[in-house]
C-alpha cells in the first residue's frame, strides 16, 4: 500500500516536472523538425521514454538537459524508424504558414521563415544557445563537436539568418 | 590585443559572451559598439521568433500494470484527475517565467523608449494608449515620457516609460496576463517584477540593471499600481 502511494507520488512529481518543461521541449522539437505535429509526437514519446528511464535522473535540477537529450535522440530515432519522406523547405514553410503568420510583427515572421530554411547543422546549435541557454561547451558536449566547430556554426547561422532577413552585413567579418 | 575581425567573429557566435577581452574591445571601439548594438537588435528578434506559442495540454504518463479491473479504472480516473490538477497548478505558475522572458524580449525590441528625459508625452497620446485597456493614470505615477500601444502575446497592451529618480522605468499593463504571486526576474540586463492586479491581470515593471538598486523596482511597481484608476 505504502509502495503504491509512494509510486503515485513519484509519478505525480515526474508528471509535474514534464508538464513544466513541456513548452521548452515542444519548442525545441518544433525547431528541430519544423513540423508541429511531429514535434508533439516526439515530445510525447520522449516523455514516455523518460518515465521508463527515470532512475537515471539523479538530480532533478538537471532534468531539462536530460529531457532535451532524450528529445534529440527520439527525433533521430523517428527518422530511422519511419524513414520520413524528404520534404522541401518551401513545403515546410507552407505547412507552418499559420504559425509564421501568427507572429505579432512582420519582422518576427521574417526571422521564423529564415529559421525554417536554415540548414539543420546551423539551426540546432543556435536553438540550443538562444532558446535553451546552453553555453558553447554544453552545445559541444550535446552535439559531440569541438568548441571551435560550435562557434563556427553559430557564426554562420547568424550570418545566414541576417542575410535572409535583409540585414546590413557590410560590417561583418569575412570567414 | 583583439582586432575588429576577432571581436566581430566572436560576437556573432555569441552576442552575450561576457568575456572581459570582448568587453574591453567594445568599450574602446565605437565601430564595434555600433556593430554589437545592431547585432543585439537582431538577437532580440531572433529570441522572439523562437518563442512560438505552445497550447496547454496535460502530460499523461502510462499507468503501472499492477491495478486490475474496477480498481484499475479508479486508479486511471484518479491519476487523470491528479494530472489535471497538477496541470492547472503548473499552468498558473508557468506563465510567470515565460511571461518575464516575453516582457524582456519586447524591451530589447524598443531601445528608443529608454531615453532619459523630463518631457512628458502629451495627455491626449497617453490617454489614447490607456483607454483601450480601460484605465487612466494618476499624476502620482510620475512623468510618463513614452506611451505606446504594443502588440504583446496576441493583445494590445499599454507600454509606458515613467521617469523616476532611479532612471527610466518601463511599465507594461498586462490586463490579459493573470499571475498568482509577484515574480521578480533578472534577465539579459533587465531587472523587473510582474505583480498581480486582482481582477485586472498584472503589471510588469522593469529597469535596466545598471541603473537599478535593490528594492527600486518593487517600490516603483507598488507606486504605479496604486496610481492606476480602472475605468468602466
Examine the pLDDT at B73 and tell me if it is beyond 70.
no
Judge whether A140 lies within some domain: yes
pLDDT band, very low/low/confident/very high, at B23 (cuts 50, 70, 90): very high
CB B135 within 8 A of CB B173: yes
Instruction: ipTM value, please give it.
Output: 0.85
Judge whether A153 lies within some domain: yes
Judge whether A174 lies within some domain: no
Judge whether A155 lies within some domain: yes
CA-nearest of B177, B176, B174, B110 to B146 is B110
Give residues 57 to 96 of A whose Cβ lies within 8 Å of B.
none
pLDDT in tens, A65-116: 999 999 999 999 887 765 555 556 566 566 655 555 555 567 888 899 999 9
pLDDT of the residue at B64? 44
DSSP E strand stretches across chain B? 135-137, 143-152, 155-164, 167-174, 183-187, 190-196, 202-208, 228-230
Domain at A22, CATH number = 1.10.1740.10
- What is the pLDDT of chain A when averaged over all its residues? 85
- Residue A44: which domain range? 1-84
Give residues 18 to 47 of A whose Cβ lies within 8 Å of B.
18-20, 22-23, 26-27, 30-31, 47
CA-nearest of B125, B119, B179, B117 to B147 is B125
Residues with Cβ within 8 Å of B120's Cβ and at least 6 positions away in sequence, in order, are: B126, B143, B144, B145
3-state secondary structure of B94: helix
What's the CA gap between A64 and A132, in Å, rounded?
A: 9
All three cell numbers of A92, joined, read 515546410
3-state secondary structure of B39: helix
Number of domains chain A is built from: 2
Task: Indicate the class that CATH gives domain B102-230.
Answer: alpha beta
Domain positions in chain B: 4-50, 102-230
CA–CA min distance A83, chain B (Å): 26
Q: In this structure, are A78 and A3 located in the same domain?
A: yes
Judge whether A72 lies within some domain: yes
Cβ neighbours, 10 Å, residue B213: 10
Q: In this structure, are A78 and A15 located in the same domain?
A: yes
Q: In this structure, are A57 and A115 located in the same domain?
A: no
DSSP codes of every residue in A1-24: -HHHHHHHHHHHHHHHHHHHHHHH
pLDDT of the residue at B96? 44
All three cell numbers of A71, joined, read 528529445
Judge whether A151 lies within some domain: yes
CA–CA min distance A43, chain B (Å): 10
Amino acid at each position: 500500500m505504502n509502495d503504491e502511494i509512494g509510486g503515485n507520488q513519484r509519478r505525480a512529481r515526474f508528471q509535474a516536472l514534464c508538464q513544466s518543461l513541456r513548452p521548452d521541449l515542444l519548442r525545441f522539437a518544433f525547431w528541430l523538425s519544423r513540423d508541429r505535429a511531429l514535434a508533439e509526437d516526439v515530445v510525447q514519446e520522449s516523455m514516455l521514454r523518460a518515465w521508463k528511464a527515470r532512475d537515471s535522473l539523479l538530480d532533478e535540477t538537471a532534468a531539462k538537459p536530460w529531457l532535451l537529450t532524450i528529445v534529440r535522440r527520439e527525433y533521430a530515432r523517428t527518422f530511422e524508424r519511419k524513414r520520413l519522406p524528404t520534404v522541401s523547405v518551401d513545403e515546410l514553410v507552407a505547412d507552418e504558414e499559420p504559425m509564421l503568420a501568427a507572429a505579432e510583427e512582420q519582422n518576427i515572421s521574417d526571422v521564423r521563415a529564415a529559421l525554417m530554411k536554415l540548414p539543420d547543422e546551423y539551426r540546432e546549435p543556435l536553438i540550443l544557445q538562444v532558446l535553451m541557454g546552453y553555453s558553447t561547451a554544453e552545445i559541444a558536449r550535446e552535439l559531440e563537436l569541438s568548441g571551435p566547430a560550435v562557434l563556427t556554426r553559430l557564426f554562420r547561422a547568424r550570418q545566414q539568418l541576417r542575410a535572409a532577413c535583409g540585414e546590413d552585413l557590410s560590417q561583418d567579418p569575412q570567414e | 590585443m583583439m582586432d575588429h575581425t576577432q571581436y566581430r567573429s566572436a560576437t556573432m557566435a555569441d552576442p552575450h559572451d561576457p568575456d572581459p577581452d570582448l568587453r574591453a574591445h567594445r568599450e574602446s571601439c565605437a565601430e564595434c559598439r555600433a556593430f554589437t548594438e545592431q547585432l543585439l537588435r537582431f538577437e532580440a528578434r531572433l529570441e522572439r521568433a523562437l518563442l512560438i506559442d505552445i497550447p496547454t495540454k496535460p502530460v499523461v504518463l502510462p499507468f503501472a500494470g499492477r491495478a486490475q479491473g474496477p480498481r484499475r479504472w479508479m486508479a486511471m480516473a484518479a491519476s487523470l484527475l491528479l494530472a489535471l490538477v497538477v496541470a492547472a497548478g503548473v499552468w498558473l505558475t508557468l506563465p510567470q517565467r515565460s511571461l518575464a522572458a516575453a516582457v524582456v524580449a519586447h524591451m530589447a525590441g524598443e531601445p528608443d523608449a529608454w531615453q532619459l528625459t523630463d518631457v512628458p508625452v502629451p495627455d491626449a497620446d497617453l490617454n489614447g494608449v490607456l483607454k483601450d485597456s480601460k484605465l487612466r493614470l494618476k499624476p502620482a505615477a510620475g512623468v510618463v515620457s513614452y506611451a505606446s500601444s504594443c502588440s504583446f502575446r496576441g493583445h494590445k497592451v499599454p507600454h509606458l516609460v515613467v521617469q523616476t529618480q532611479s532612471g527610466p522605468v518601463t511599465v507594461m499593463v498586462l490586463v490579459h496576463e493573470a499571475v498568482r504571486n509577484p515574480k521578480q526576474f533578472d534577465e539579459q540586463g533587465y531587472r523587473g517584477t510582474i505583480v498581480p492586479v486582482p481582477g485586472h491581470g498584472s503589471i510588469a515593471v522593469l529597469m535596466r540593471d545598471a541603473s537599478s538598486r535593490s528594492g527600486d523596482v518593487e517600490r516603483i511597481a507598488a507606486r504605479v499600481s496604486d496610481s492606476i484608476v480602472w475605468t468602466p
